[in-house]
Every structure is written in C-alpha cells, then in structure tokens.
Amino acid sequence: MIHDNYLYIILGMGIVTYVPRWLPLVFLSRRSLPEWFEQWLDLIPAAILSALIFPILITTGDPRHLDLLRPEFIVAVPTLAFAVKTRSLAGTVIFGMFLFWLAEKFI
C-alpha cells in the first residue's frame, strides 16, 4: 500500500533535489566564465571534501559536540597517511575499512 500523499511528497522532494543539481550544469557548462570564477570553482572540490569529511570524523551526537576520540577519527589519521603515500584509491578504501573493522573490534 502507498501512504496518502506519499507520491506528491516524494515528487516534491525529488524536484527540489533535482533542480539544484541541474541548473548549474545547464547554465555554466556552455558559458565562458570569468577567470576568478574558474579559479573559485577549481578550489571548490578541495573545500567541499574537507567540509564534508571533517565534521563527520570529529563531531558526534545531536546536538553535535566535539569528540576527538572517535574510532572514525583515529582511523582517519593512518588512512590519510596511506593515501598520501600510495595515492591509491582502492588501497586506501580497503586499508581504511580494515583499520576501522579492527578499531570497532578492539577499541
């Protein structure tokens, strides 16, 4: 069975999710952009990856608070070192998973 209004709700959710994904692709990919804006966009991946991952590693709870002793963060340090050293995505993912599995087991 499908809940009342469920289809409308997920359609609404889908539209407001899709439009921000779609608009910049269609509007920016065919324009030549000013140099400062190209530079800005070039820095966005480094900025956004950092902004995504750090709070996940060192904050927890609701409301969020700082916790530097989470296994997520402790494991992140050798995982980062491994990534810098090997520059291998596959290796880093497997190494990180293995360390996290160990950490969950023994910490």
Partner 1 sequence: MTPMNSEERTADWVAIIKDGVIGAWPICLGYLAIGLAFGVIAQKAGFSPVEIGLMSLIVYAGSAQFIGISMLSAGAGIVPIVITTFTINLRHMLMSSSLATFMRNLGTGRLSLFAYGVTDESFALNSAKFRDGKWDWRRALVLNHTTNLTWIASTVAGGFGGQFIPAGALGIDYALSAMFICLLVFQLRGRLYVIVSIIAGILAVILSLLLPGNSYIVVASVIAATLGVFLKRSKSFAGTERKS
Which residue from 69, 74, 87, 106 is in contact with partner 1, where contact means CB under 8 A?
87
Radius of gyration (C-alpha) of the chain in whole angstroms: 20
When asked if residue 59 is in the footprint of partner 1 (CB under 8 A), the reply is yes
Q: With CB under 8 A as the rule, give the number of residues binding partner 1.
A: 77
Indicate the pairing of strand 65-66 with strand 59-60: antiparallel
DSSP H stretches of helix in the chain: 6-28, 35-58, 71-86, 89-106
Question: From the CB of 52, what's the least distance to partner 1, in Å?
Answer: 6
Closest CA to 92 of 106, 79, 102: 79
Of the pair 69, 84, the CB lying nearest partner 1 is at: 84
* Residues within window 1-20 making contact with partner 1, judged by CB under 8 A: 1-3, 5-14, 16-18, 20
Which residue from 67, 69, 74, 84 is in contact with partner 1, where contact means CB under 8 A?
84
